[in-house]
Amino acid sequence: MSAVDLPGPFRRALPGLAAPGTGVATPGAADAPDSVGQAGPGALAALGAAGRARAAAHAAERAAHAAARAARATRRRSDDELRRLAAEGAALLAPAGGPEASADEVAAWAAETFGDLLAVACSMADLVLPHVVAQHAPWVDVLFLETGYHFPETLGTRDAAAATMPITVVDVAAAQSVAEQDAEHGPRLHERDPGLCCALRKVAPLHAALGGYEAWVTGVRRDEAPTRTGTPLVTWDEKNRLVKINPLAAWSFDDLVGYATQHSVLLNPLLDDGYPSIGCAPCTRRVAPGEDPRSGRWAGLDKTECGLHA
């Protein structure tokens, strides 16, 4: 299997992911004498069969979990009940005058408290958050906003995660395709009115998707931007009417990298190509050393958030 040998802080190969900006996987491990590329036809056939068997087992396990969850048909609790749980969780995990709970402790509480009605939001910049949550809630729904504008590397990361991790990736799409949006609002709406574009392709679809859940988990960190410094571990999300959980709020970027390295978590190759914050391709640029990590988002515009966390 081909691999990308990432430079920079990650220093590890991501099997099957495309090289940054190319859409083509680089040789990487194939240069080694015992690589797949130098194996005989019999060995290649065996490897292919083993890969198909793993994929089939993965799909069967995911389907079995989905069937069991459907059979449980868990009822969503009232807003008042969920508000109470949010307050209790905030007091338990971030007590006044006491240390905050770890990300693992927050994820364990979330899984125990909300079970089947827990969802994780993931932009596919990395799979650290789904990995943390899946330790306690295997096959948890991972919501991915399919805006129609993503980098190929982001879509590749999503596909790799769905194929290899014990999670259930759910593509959340806008009501209109990009072509339909262009027909109604004109082409390149993201250039003329990025706020409206984000509202149509991110905020509204996520709001609709969250309607069936009791809590959602995000990867928001306090060190990402001045607008996020006050991020709590647990809060009530009035806009979406459910509990919002931020297990990684106290983490730094180095903490994220350390966890990914320790647990061999999938990472988007763009992270090592100058994109510390990854959004839609037309609205994301590379960030120079020393710049705010989110300065590459909507560069040159009076906009710092897409609206999901504002």
DSSP-derived 3-state class of residue 22: coil
Q: Which tokens belong to 203?
A: 């905020």
Known catalytic residues are: 306
CA dihedral 177, 181, 182, 188 (to 10 degrees): -100
* Alpha helix (H) residue ranges in 165-288: 178-185, 189-192, 194-198, 204-209, 253-263
* Type of residue numbered 1: M
Q: How far is CA 148 from CA 29, 168, 179, 189, in A?
A: 32, 20, 10, 13
Question: Distance of CA 187 to CAs 77, 176, 183, 193, Å?
Answer: 42, 13, 7, 11
